[in-house]
Amino acid sequence: MSSIVVSELEYGPPGADQLFFDVSFKVSPGEHAALVGANGVGKSTILRILTGR
């Protein structure tokens, strides 16, 4: 099993301001993580980027 490592991730939809920037984290094998935040802050977008969608 591998770790998930994200370093300085940023994203802005075309023609819009950045949705998020400087997102960094590591999830090691056996650890659990959660993305928590208000609607529209980019939780699903981060997961789509990480899965290559």
The 10s digit of each residue's pLDDT in 1-43 is 889 999 999 999 899 999 889 999 999 999 999 999 999 888 9
DSSP conformation class of 48: H
Mean pLDDT, rounded, for 41-51: 91
SS3 assignment for 23-42: EEEEECCCCCCCCCCCCCCC
Q: What is the total residue count of the chain?
A: 53
Contact of 4 with 15, CB cutoff 8 Å: no
Q: How far apart are the C-alpha atoms of 51 and 53, rounded to whole Å?
A: 6
Q: Note down the domain range covering 36.
A: 4-51
When divided into structural domains, the chain yields a total of 1
Prediction pTM value? 0.75
Q: How far apart are the C-alpha atoms of 29 and 27, rounded to whole Å?
A: 7
